[in-house]
Amino acid sequence: MEAAADRTNPVPLTKYVAPVVQTGSVEHVAWSKKVPEQLHWVLQELLGEFDEARGPIDMLSRYLKVPAPNLYDVNGPQWVHEQLARLAPQRVYELVEHLERGRSHHDELVSKSLAEEGVPLRMLAGSFVPVDQAATELDVDDSLSQPDSLLHGRFSPTKQQWDVSRRELLAGHHESAVAAAVNALESAVRIAADAKSISEGARTLFKGHRAPLGAALSQLHNYGSAMPNVRHGGQVASTMTRTEATAVCRAAAVFIVMVVNLDNEGVLPLTS
C-alpha cells in the first residue's frame, strides 16, 4: 500500500473520461449524479488499507481542505464516514480512482456494478474509462483486462509489457500503448514457441490450415513496426487516434490470451 502522503491529490475525473465529457452527452450528466453502492464499499475498503489509523483521516483532511480532527476528541472512523457521506458523486469517483489507479483489484466488481446501474464507465487497471458501446455489443469490451490474470510464471515478461500498454492507453499515449501491446504479443509467441522472433514463433505454433492464424499475429506485429512513432520503422508524424490504438490493443489482447491458453492446454503447435 502506498504511503498516505502520496495519495492526497486526486486528479479530476474529467481528465480520464474526456471522450464522454467532450460530447456533452446526456449520459455524462446522468452518471455524474449516480454512485453505485458497491463503489462506496470499495472506497471504504481502500481507506481501510492505510497502515496507520490517521492515514485516511489525514488524506481526507487534505483532500477536502478541512481541519484534521484530534482523535482524543472525536471517533476517527465515524469522522471518516461523515466526510464520505458529504462527498458529491463525482468526487467519489475521483477518490476511488486516485486510491486504486494502477491496480486491478476491484476492476471486475466495480465494472459490473457500473453496468448494472447504467453508468457508461468501466474500471480498467483502477482507472475509469468510457464505455465503447459498439465494443460492448460485440462482446469485446473486456478484452483489455483478460490477459492480466493469465500472465505469470513463464509469461511474466509478457505481463510487464502488457501492464505498460494498459497504463499508456489510459494516459492517452496511443503510440506507446500500441508499441507495448505488440511487444507483449511478440513476447507471448516467442515464449510459447521458444523462438527468436514472432514470425518464427507464429510459423512454429500454427501450421497447415492454421498458418493464416499465425500470419495474422505476425501482421499485427508488423503494423506496430510500420506505424510512425510506434516502433523503429516509422518515419513521419503519427496521427493515431484513440479508437485505432484501442482496437489494436484489443486485438493484441485477444491473441495473447489465445496463445497463453493454448500453451496452458498443452496443444501447441496446432497442425492440420
Per-residue DSSP letters for 44-75? HHHHTT-SSTTHHHHHHHHHHT-PPPPTTTS-
Supply angle C-alpha 25, 97, 60, rounded to 5.
115
Distance between CA atoms of 99 and 103, rounded to whole angstroms? 9
What is the dihedral sign for C-alpha 83, 88, 93, 98?
negative
Place of cell 497442425: 271
Residue 257 clears pLDDT 90, i.e. is over it? yes
pLDDT at 3: 38
pLDDT at 89: 84
pLDDT digits (tens, 9 = 90+) for 71-100: 788 888 888 888 888 888 888 888 888 888
Grid cell of 114 as nine digits:
457500473
Q: What amino acid occupies position 75? A: N
What would the mean pLDDT of 13-29 be, rounded to a whole number?
34
Domain-wise residue ranges, the chain: 4-131, 146-265
pLDDT at 238: 56
pLDDT at 23: 28
pLDDT at 231: 55
Backbone dihedral angles phi then psi of residue 37, each to the nearest 5 degrees: -60, -35
Q: Are 252 and 182 in contact (CB under 8 A)?
A: yes
Q: What amino acid occupies position 59? A: M
pLDDT at 12: 43
pLDDT confidence band for 20 (50 / 70 / 90): very low
pLDDT at 241: 85
pLDDT at 4: 37
Q: Are 215 and 203 in contact (CB under 8 A)?
A: no
pLDDT digits (tens, 9 = 90+) for 190-230: 999 999 999 999 999 999 999 999 999 999 999 887 776 65
pLDDT confidence band for 147 (50 / 70 / 90): confident
| Highest mean predicted confidence (pLDDT) among 56-70, 120-134, 147-161 | 147-161
Grid cell of 111 as nine digits:
465494472
Q: Kindly report whether the peptide bond that precedes residue 269 is cis, defined as omega within 30 degrees of 0.
A: yes
DSSP string computed for the chain: ---GGGGS-PPPGGGT-HHHHHHT-HHHHHHTT---HHHHHHHHHHHTT-SSTTHHHHHHHHHHT-PPPPTTTS-HHHHHHHHHHT--HHHHHHHHHHHHTT--TTHHHHHHHHHHTT-SEEEETTEEEE--HHHHHTT-TTGGGGGGGT--GGGHHHHHHHHHHHHHHHTT-HHHHHHHHHHHHHHHHHHHHT-SSHHHHHHHHB-GGGHHHHHHHHHHHHHHHHSTTTSTT--S-----HHHHHHHHHHHHHHHHHHHHHHHHT-PSB--
pLDDT at 161: 94
pLDDT at 202: 97
Burial of 246 (0-12, 13-18, 19+ CB in 10 A): buried
The architecture (CATH level 2) of 146-265 comes to: Up-down Bundle (1.20)
Q: CA dist 272 to 207, 211, 269, Å?
A: 7, 9, 10
Contacts of 134 (CB under 8 A, 6+ apart): none
